[in-house]
Structure 1
């Protein structure tokens, strides 16, 4: 019953059309000028290749049949991803693949679902060309069958600890690669204090909304290709790949801080 009520609210609020503006505005004191996108989608530089089914919560998001973003399966029929991954995109153009390992090869573990709708955070916007409140949820038309290759991941029960966490995705394996990694990759990356990113990226990060992840020299961390992918620790997803620095991918990666958005996420998905 609760989920049906939430679906009705999604439809009436026009939040799942894929092209509407947020229904709420950021309070005045939080409204810097919104600028054109200048930063780039991020995923994995360095790291290692995953083995089959190592990250069963990882999904691949396709738009018009091509790999577009990553995401985390948080319920059998709900995916968590980045707001900029769905911004302006009609749900009918999106499909989600779970149980995947290589882009070009088909694995018997793969499952595919079409999308009923999506909602990005109502305060989602770009500041100095980089997204903030960069989270979104995707409601699938059906539920994935959970098994050894496809599993959900829990939301945080508290703030992200300053420790090493695991990011995963199919993005560029190095800056300048100009193409996705065919095989799923991962890297174990430190979560730093937000101030560690000051001066390294296009703008300073917002404490409580973003996480500063990786290394100042970018030896491992984010690069283009699979925004929206997970940053996981202890069976929970604490971050969503959001943005970073330029084509070279040579510094820290900013992740959306999932712990700050749990209430908003659960207002759609339920607890």
Structure 2
């Protein structure tokens, strides 16, 4: 019965048209001003290459067969990603790959699932060209088989501490590069006071909704293609890669603060 209710909720959320809360005309006009890290932006800048199965909760989201965003497996058949990663995308165009390491090479650990539907947070929108409430859930048509290469990650049970956490993804390796990294990368990044990002990016951050992560000079952080990917600490998922500074990826990376959305996420996935 719970699954039937969840499926009904997906349909009522206009998943199949990619519709969310309507934006005002001013917000809509601002969308192109700042590229979100996944749509045309974000790999891990700096950092290191991951070893096989190091991040078994990391998934790769494809649109029309091409790598588009990252995500995190939170249930065998549910993925958490960024709202802008599903915005306007018909589920029939999407595939989710788990147990992956390199994009071009096939690994025996890989599994793939097509997408039944997705839902953005109801108040997802763009402000000053950057997304706010940038979280979304994806329901798969089947469940991934959990093993050493594919695992779920827990949602946070407490607010994000100001400590070093781990981001991972296949995004661009630096702002001047073009295209995704073939191999999964990761970086340890500090979570800073939210005010640290103010003045460095397109707008000030919203405390409680966004996390200011990384460094002002962008020596290490997210870049194009990393969007929707995880920020993890202690076996819990604290952040979703959201946006940064344009094409250059040369400053802080903004993550959606997952703790603020746990109740909404679980209204779809269950506890």
Q: Classify the TM-score, shorter chain.
A: over 0.9
RMSD between superposed Cα atoms in Å: 1.4
Counterpart for residue 20 of structure 1: 19
Residue 90 of structure 2 corresponds to 90
Flag structure 1 segments of 5+ consecutive residues without an equivalent: none
Residues 43 and 181 of structure 1: is their aligned pair in 2 closer, same or farther, counting only changes over 3 Å?
A: closer
Deviation, structure 1 residue 33: 4.4
1:189 aligns with 2:184: no
Moved over 6 A (4+): none
Shift, 1:4, TM fit: 1.5
> Residues 32 and 14 from structure 1, CA distance in 2 versus in 1: closer, same or farther, beyond 3 angstroms?
closer
Post-superposition Cα deviations, 1:137-193, rounded to whole Å, max 9, x if no partner, equal: 000000000000000000000110000000000000111101110000000000000
Q: Distance in 1 between matches of 2:112 and 2:9?
A: 26
Shift of 1:226: 2.4
User: How many equivalent pairs are there?
Assistant: 264
- Aligned counterpart for 1:39 among listed residues 29, 34, 44: 34
What residue ranges of structure 2 are gaps of 5+ in the alignment?
A: none
Q: Which residue in the other structure is 2:155 paired with?
A: 155
Please report how far the alpha carbon of residue 43 of structure 1 lies from its aligned counterpart in structure 2 after TM superposition: 3.6
Q: Is the 8 A contact 2:15 2:117 kept in 1?
A: yes
Q: Is the 8 A contact 2:43 2:181 kept in 1?
A: no
Distance 1:215 1:135, change over 3 A: same
Distance 1:18 1:153, change over 3 A: farther
The separation in 1 between residues aligned to 2:140 and 2:20, in whole angstroms, is 21
Taking the aligned partners of 2:246 and 2:9, their CA distance within structure 1 comes to 38
Find out whether 1:146 has 2:141 as its counterpart.
no
TM-score scaled by length of structure 2: 0.95
Task: Give the Cα–Cα distance (whole angstroms) in 2 for the partners of residues 32 and 218 of structure 1.
Answer: 32
- Alpha-carbon deviations, 1:208-243, whole Å to 9, x = none? 000000000000001111210000000010000000
Deviation, structure 1 residue 205: 0.4
Q: Deviations over 1:80-121 (max 9, x none)?
A: 000000000000000000000000000000000000000000
| In 2: Cα distance, 1:154 partner to 1:140 partner | 18
The equivalent residue for 1:5 is 5
TM-score between the two structures when normalised by the length of structure 1: 0.95
Alignment map for 1:18-167 (pairs within 5 Å): 18-22=17-21, 33-34=26-27, 35-40=30-35, 41=37, 42-167=42-167
- Offset of residue 265 of structure 1: 0.3
